[in-house]
Amino acid sequence: MIAEGKFRQDLFYRLNVVQIKIPPLKERQGDIILLAKYFMQKYNVAFGKAIEKIDPETIGILKNHNWPGNVRELQNCIEHAMNMVGRDTYELLPKHLPSYLRQESDSVKDAVVLEIKPGNLNLGDALRETEKKIIKEALEVVKYKKVKAARLLGISTTTLWRKIVEFGLDDKLERD
């Protein structure tokens, strides 16, 4: 901005006495629900509503989203949800969230359809196949980005990588 003449160099150095590094919201999982509750209370007052809590499934959806728009995106999502809530509702539900958040969550939940065939009722095999399908769908949802897939699945990237290799799903992965 300084090179473009949009910000004075002397002012930059004057303000740059102390640098504060704030990681993106996706790296501050604990802040997501605190901020969501804060915005919920803010919009309770602004919209004259009395929402008391956030449904556990809604919390899961909020925690699993990547938040590329950081706090502003979260605020907009909560404002959207508060606009969708009826007067007689006292809880934020997944149906109140913007559709892109619900679709992100639904795509993984709906992905697992286990085919059980007669004579193939081995629990270990069924669990392994189900886990493989879930991991494959999560990878597809996030366009094969390991860090995002791990976050969506609620597991570490190390565990995800081990499972990817175990299930032979590493052919489309980007190295991130």
How far apart (Å, rounded) are the C-alpha atoms in residues 50 and 30?
24
Per residue in 87-110, pLDDT tens?
Answer: 888 999 999 999 888 877 665 555
Q: Do residues 9 and 2 touch, judged by C-beta distance below 8 A?
A: yes
pLDDT value at residue 176: 46
pLDDT value at residue 112: 54
**Whether residues 125 and 98 fall in one domain:** no
Q: What is the CATH number of the domain that holds 132?
A: 1.10.10.60
Of 107, 122, 155, the residue that ends a domain is 107
pLDDT value at residue 45: 95
Per residue in 39-62, pLDDT tens?
Answer: 999 999 999 999 999 998 899 889
Q: Do residues 161 and 176 touch, judged by C-beta distance below 8 A?
A: no
pLDDT value at residue 72: 96
Question: What is the pTM for the complete model shown?
Answer: 0.57
Structural domains in the chain (count)? 2
Sites in the chain below the pLDDT cut of 50: 176
pLDDT value at residue 36: 97
Of 64, 84, 107, the residue that ends a domain is 107
**Whether residues 102 and 48 fall in one domain:** yes
Of 90, 107, 124, the residue that ends a domain is 107
Q: What is the CATH number of the domain that holds 39?
A: 1.10.8.60
pLDDT value at residue 119: 64
Q: Is residue 19 part of a domain?
A: no
Residue 67: name the closest of 151, 156, 139, 155 by CA.
151
**Whether residues 76 and 142 fall in one domain:** no
Q: Is residue 5 part of a domain?
A: no
Range of 92's domain?
24-107
